[in-house]
Amino acid sequence: MYASYHYLKILVPVLFFIPWLCSAQLRVVPKNDGLLVKEAGTNVLFYVTKDRSLAGKNARAHYIHPLFSMAGDTLTEDFPADHVHQRGIFWAWHQLYASGSRLGNSWLVKDFSWDVMSTQHEEYEDHITLHSTVLWKSYDPGNDIKNKVAVLKEQCSITLHKREPMYRVIDFHLRFEPLLDSVFIGGSGDTKGYGGFSARLKLPGKVKFVSTGGEVIPQTNSVQAGGWMDVQFSQNKEGIILVDSPSNPGFPNPWILREKNSMQNIKYPGRTPLKLRKDNPLILKYRLIVYQSPLEREIIEKLQHF
């Protein structure tokens, strides 16, 4: 009798501890239109896998929204009134060519769509990775405006690392393979040349940009800075750091920065279109660091290498 009581005293705390341990791990919660990632009961991000639209227009999939702060607040915007085509964390280009023809505009979501063919995820003790295969589709370069064809195949991997006390790291590994002949991608055709990996953030009033050389002042066109950009929300000390991997072509790439009503963009390849090769797919890697208290520069520069 005493022995049973003794084991019961040990077992009961363990039974209470197991649910807490499980809830503290990163986990994926499937939803009708995407995948929600949670940690310790707090939302981390939502990966959109099926089209979302506004009154039937600007339908798009394959992006992150919401991205949540360490406290579980929404950091990103979707269908903002000033630029309804912008969406959370996304990557897209204005210029797309195949076989000598100009195709749809993935940045403006014009004559374009994303078909998320499959998703899967891998769960580990200290991180979780979402994998997806995505077909980028536009109208047939032979001027068949009724049917879209797959122009690019993307293999996308998003890795969410277990949170640290003051920050969380999220990695993006994007692999693009052309499916048609002579496929080119490029940014906007004006002097800004914006396009590529972007973040449409909810900017709470005044915002400050800091990179390797100190504070960066946004310009109409792109600015040259380091391989990372700290977007500081001055009102509450929270912020997000965008990192351009040193392995990316063109590193360090220019930045398009905006203090309000637009996205923040790591510009690649710029205004001049880049030809994609079937025998050597384009690989781009980016990192987001979401923090609840400003990070020391030494920590940021250590996290820049991945």
pLDDT for position 120: 97
How many structural domains compose the chain? 1
Q: Which of 250, 248, 253, 199 is nearest to 222 (CA)?
A: 253
**pLDDT for res 139:** 83
The whole-number pLDDT of residue 94 equals 97
Residues 217, 225: Cα–Cα separation, whole Å: 10
SS3 26: strand
User: Concatenated DSSP letters for 95-140?
Assistant: EEEETTEE--BTTTTBSEEEEEEEEEEEE-SSEEEEEEEEEEEEEE
**Residue 89 domain boundaries:** 2-303
Q: Check which CATH number belongs to the domain holding 102 and give it.
A: 2.70.98
The pLDDT averaged over each successive group of 10 residues in the chain (306 residues) is 47 42 76 96 97 96 97 96 97 96 95 97 95 93 73 98 97 98 97 98 91 96 97 86 98 97 97 97 98 94 93
Copy the structure tokens of residue 190: 């004006």
Q: Residue 122's closest CA among 113, 114, 131?
A: 131
Residue type, 203: L
CA distances from 125 to 26, 42, 145, 164 (A): 8, 17, 48, 14
How many residues are present in the chain? 306
Residues 6+ positions from 151 with CB-CB distance below 8 Å: 96, 98, 103, 136, 137, 138, 178, 179, 180, 183
User: What pLDDT score was predicted for residue 132?
Assistant: 98
User: Which residues make Cβ contacts (< 8 Å) with residue 267, sequence separation at least 6?
Assistant: 187, 193, 194, 195, 196, 222, 253, 254, 255, 256
